[in-house]
Structure 1
């Protein structure tokens, strides 16, 4: 799961690296803004992956094959319906994004083209979330990793052909991602065909579907608040100019590596704790929580050390633009410290999903986003000069991630999961 989650952000990293080596930084800025909008949209739907993992792990622990089949059908219905809605709402989504961000005309035009193309694969991208949820919940992590590696390989090959070979620039990067996402969706459904080949056994139970939708609703609110905070890092930075936008885009690749690498631990927690919940084994729940927390802390230390030693080199490999490199290096210390501050929130996300405590996830995110991140952004932008204002954004993000871990730990203590027998 660690490997699969480290591989996941390469889809954006490959696009950023290839576009970052073109001659104009507007291409990098366009892909950064466009990918931010698309990622914001898709990651709002991360509830599909998380709720599916939680319920699949519970069914796996209980040995209930019919529950997994039913879960898959429910998830696919939501994926297809929501995917069609996103595809249809593409033009309005772009208008809303530019109303909020207000980029320059040239940047908005290129990024808008990128978004419209990427949304063609919306149903496939959402299906991929459900497929990964089933695989992770069943502890089939090697297959989940294989799907993500396949997506990156297809994306890389398509980028080489479309961006470098045919010189389609931003449009080529968008089509490369569409091809990769669609390919993986088809392969994933083939791997889950054992629950799809008998339509006579498909069941939609209103009560269970309602419960599943409620779980998704809690995680949706949580994801909405999270992505609004993350979008601020790129969107608000647009006020500081294209160089800062591009530099933050480079540094956000570090954050994606941190997030999804540590989420590899969280995904393992989801599967292991969820299966123990299905077996109603409270002692095993406590065992997995303690063991995976140790690994989460160790990996956070590894990230800090790796970024301290190789951070400048990584920046230069992503882009060769001198202004962008210099600006990104200015803010690199925030990324070096971030893993130790942030790993708690990713770990506890896994615990809460595995235990099915989606309401607690929602509440902790609301406290951290509205009570910590938003005030920190407003105060820092008021106190700091324009030349240092981007430091205020990174400070707010650091405090936000730390606050998530603290509030989640407090809520879990109140639930007394560890202490009850």
Structure 2
């Protein structure tokens, strides 16, 4: 591994943080643009039911696929720590373990796609017409499950090595392919919601092919050569596997909890009718855009903090937190201002339905507030993921989801106002849950090895 194997820590300055973050920011910004294109492709047909179906189907697919988001998040922290400690062989072994796990889990999802789809739609509160559109979208998306989960692993590995430009190239190619294929399948071939899902699945296959090429570029050899030079005894090391599964188990529970939160939010909108569901989905494009932009600094924090933990460098750990938080706070304020000034025209661009437009404009201030309110939770996620403190992530995620659901139920008399009040509060709940564990993280930094917190009990 030529460049990826270097153990000299990168300089920790504002310039270096921004240099590492901007490729992630561009790549992340293109992700919600895909959602915006998906929404516009369906929304400009004037069919609110089809738009609501894509919204419902996308929510379910996100819940199913991101249940395995630990393939990205766990990989970043573990890879950064292995890189920081100078363990080159483990860096490559982590990639191979995660790729095998991602492909296997993706094939299992594809095999179980019909029962998963039917069970999820039975739980949700959509109308039969909306459910039909959602089923078509989900059918298309499941074809891309193996590639999607393998790409999670590759992306996490690249970010853990600080190779943000390669991660950017992977994201941009996948998203451009996604947008182009969606437009072709929907407007060109008339496949509707199914076409949106199928276009995304095809783009994920393209991304996997590119991702394997990028892995070869970073590792200095193609994947087959990496497999050949990695001893089987290392790949099957019981202690390493135990740590991998312990970290991933806790992050998986945390991720499922947060996905249940967002699914509950979508279901709350579905309960109020297709117009409200569609309007909330339009506003979620703003929230997603903010999350993906601010995640650029959270992802940078993951790598910098993971590397500091691997090197056992407490001052570097604290400086990484401070510098990435400065950038995140400034970006959150700018996004909030931009959403308030430009949100109305963007809503009109995304949908032509007058009722959906009016409802979305009414609740736009909530979407504009979330970049500021949600910033601490996104940054603390980056801190704890980089430090691979899965227990804290798990407990904070579960607690915030339970409290959010209780709050949403209590605010139901206020209809969609209550839905957005509960959603906004959920970010504060999550940040508060992680903040409780921060003093413990500081105390443990000098006295415990990174893997201790993640060992199975």
TM-score, scaled to structure 2? 0.88
User: Are positions 1:96 and 2:122 aligned together?
Assistant: no
Q: Partner residue of 1:355?
A: 387
User: Are positions 1:196 and 2:228 aligned together?
Assistant: no
Give the secondary-structure state (helix, strand or coil) at the position aligned to 1:416. Answer: helix
Structure-2 separation of matches of 1:270 and 1:31? 32
Please tell me whether the aligned partners of residues 69 and 195 of structure 1 are also in contact (alpha carbons under 8 angstroms).
no
Please tell me whether the aligned partners of residues 11 and 151 of structure 1 are also in contact (alpha carbons under 8 angstroms).
no
User: Are positions 1:187 and 2:207 aligned together?
Assistant: no
Q: Partner residue of 2:362?
A: 330
Q: Partner residue of 1:365?
A: 397
Give the secondary-structure state (helix, strand or coil) at the position aligned to 1:197. Answer: helix
Structure-2 separation of matches of 1:206 and 1:123? 25
Once the two structures are superposed, what CA deviation does each residue of 1:175-219 show, in whole Å capped at 9, x if it has no partner? 111111110011101211336232333332222112101111000
Structure-1 separation of matches of 2:222 and 2:301? 25
Match of residue 391, structure 1, among 403, 413, 417: 417
Structure-1 separation of matches of 2:446 and 2:309? 14
Structure-2 separation of matches of 1:10 and 1:40? 19
- Structure 1 gaps of 5+ residues are none
Q: Partner residue of 2:325?
A: 293
Q: Partner residue of 1:235?
A: 267
What does 1:63-142 align with in structure 2 at a 5 Å threshold? 63-142=86-165
Please tell me whether the aligned partners of residues 348 and 409 of structure 1 are also in contact (alpha carbons under 8 angstroms).
yes
Evaluate the alpha carbon distance shift between residue 97 and residue 225 of structure 1 in structure 2; reply closer, same or farther with a 3 A threshold.
same
Structure-1 separation of matches of 2:54 and 2:152? 22
Please tell me whether the aligned partners of residues 82 and 91 of structure 2 are also in contact (alpha carbons under 8 angstroms).
yes
User: Are positions 1:276 and 2:308 aligned together?
Assistant: yes
User: Are positions 1:305 and 2:337 aligned together?
Assistant: yes
User: Are positions 1:376 and 2:399 aligned together?
Assistant: no
Structure-1 separation of matches of 2:422 and 2:444? 31
Structure-2 separation of matches of 1:337 and 1:113? 34
| Shift of residue 419, structure 1, vs aligned partner | 9.1
Once the two structures are superposed, what CA deviation does each residue of 1:272-327 show, in whole Å capped at 9, x if it has no partner? 11112222211111111111111111111011111111111111111111111001
Give the secondary-structure state (helix, strand or coil) at the position aligned to 2:352. Answer: coil
| Shift of residue 64, structure 1, vs aligned partner | 2.1
Q: Partner residue of 2:374?
A: 342
User: Are positions 1:247 and 2:273 aligned together?
Assistant: no
Q: Partner residue of 1:260?
A: 292
Please tell me whether the aligned partners of residues 12 and 35 of structure 1 are also in contact (alpha carbons under 8 angstroms).
no
Please tell me whether the aligned partners of residues 272 and 354 of structure 1 are also in contact (alpha carbons under 8 angstroms).
yes
Match of residue 177, structure 1, among 181, 197, 200: 200
Structure-1 separation of matches of 2:306 and 2:356? 44
Match of residue 408, structure 1, among 434, 454, 457: 434
Evaluate the alpha carbon distance shift between residue 290 and residue 251 of structure 1 in structure 2; reply closer, same or farther with a 3 A threshold.
same
Q: Quick check: 263-272 or 2-11, which moved more?
A: 2-11
Please tell me whether the aligned partners of residues 52 and 277 of structure 2 are also in contact (alpha carbons under 8 angstroms).
yes
Q: Quick check: 50-59 or 94-103, which moved more?
A: 94-103
Structure-2 separation of matches of 1:110 and 1:375? 30
Please tell me whether the aligned partners of residues 286 and 418 of structure 1 are also in contact (alpha carbons under 8 angstroms).
no
Structure-1 separation of matches of 2:441 and 2:47? 53
Structure-2 separation of matches of 1:179 and 1:62? 38
Structure-2 separation of matches of 1:309 and 1:102? 33
User: Are positions 1:34 and 2:62 aligned together?
Assistant: no
Q: Quick check: 255-264 or 409-418, which moved more?
A: 409-418
Q: Partner residue of 2:28?
A: 5
Structure-2 separation of matches of 1:216 and 1:76? 14
| Shift of residue 418, structure 1, vs aligned partner | 9.7
| Shift of residue 135, structure 1, vs aligned partner | 0.6
Q: Quick check: 252-261 or 100-109, which moved more?
A: 100-109
Q: Partner residue of 2:68?
A: 45
User: Are positions 1:315 and 2:347 aligned together?
Assistant: yes
**What CA RMSD, in Å, does the superposition of the two structures yield over aligned residues?**
1.5
Give the secondary-structure state (helix, strand or coil) at the position aligned to 1:342. Answer: helix
Please tell me whether the aligned partners of residues 290 and 371 of structure 2 are also in contact (alpha carbons under 8 angstroms).
yes
| Shift of residue 420, structure 1, vs aligned partner | 6.3
How many residue pairs are counted as aligned between the two chains? 415
Evaluate the alpha carbon distance shift between residue 418 and residue 313 of structure 1 in structure 2; reply closer, same or farther with a 3 A threshold.
farther
Please tell me whether the aligned partners of residues 185 and 196 of structure 2 are also in contact (alpha carbons under 8 angstroms).
yes
Give the secondary-structure state (helix, strand or coil) at the position aligned to 2:363. Answer: helix
